[in-house]
Amino acid sequence: MFLRPALFLLVFVLIAPQSRSYLGLCLASAGKWISAWSPFSYILLLMLPIAGLASVYIVQKWPERIEPENPMAKYRKEVPFED
């Protein structure tokens, strides 16, 4: 679903030399920030996949919704089906 728009955007971002140099600068500054704030940044980076896995676990284990019974069903006459 997101593959085609992502590839389309990626082509136009990587085609210009200014955008490539900006992305390289962003990655370099992120690496410097991670090494400068090493204990806290590693904890933060470790929390990201843990939060994703926890959300997947919660969604899978969430109890299913039970539909309430129709209160008018007991007053409605059932018509037998003819075979």
Which pLDDT value is given to residue 53? 97
**Backbone angles phi and psi of 58, in degrees to 5:** -65, -40
Which pLDDT value is given to residue 39? 93
Which pLDDT value is given to residue 54? 97
Segments of the chain with pLDDT less than 70: 77-83
The answer for residues whose C-beta is within 8 angstroms of residue 23's C-beta and 6 or more apart is 13
Which pLDDT value is given to residue 82? 62
Which pLDDT value is given to residue 10? 83
Query: pTM score, two decimals?
Result: 0.51
Which pLDDT value is given to residue 17? 85
Which pLDDT value is given to residue 69? 82
How do the domains of the chain map onto residue ranges?
27-59
